[in-house]
Amino acid sequence: MCLALPVQITKIATNNKTATVSLDGIQKEISLALVDDVTIGDYVLLHVGYALSKVSESEAKRTLALFAEMDMGKTS
């Protein structure tokens, strides 16, 4: 089973091959080799360091809210 997380692009390298993304304040450099036409502020699905595809902001926020709900429902 694979898991891809929606993350927001905060910076794109001058070579357009990598970008910095943010998720809950964590910054990570990722590859843009599999996607075209992304800009700062776009959301992409991230899996093992690669942006797989663009997703809408509403879809990204809905998915992130579901992950947050699952975390809040944890029991020790």
CATH number, domain of 64, equals 2.30.30.140
3-state secondary structure of 69: helix
Task: Taking residues 61-76, report their average pLDDT.
Answer: 79
Q: At 25, is the pLDDT very low, low, confident or very high (cuts 50, 70, 90)?
A: confident
Q: At 61, is the pLDDT very low, low, confident or very high (cuts 50, 70, 90)?
A: very high
d(CA 53, CA 12): 15
Q: Which domain holds residue 65?
A: 5-72
Q: At 23, is the pLDDT very low, low, confident or very high (cuts 50, 70, 90)?
A: confident
How many domains, in total, are found in the chain?
A: 1
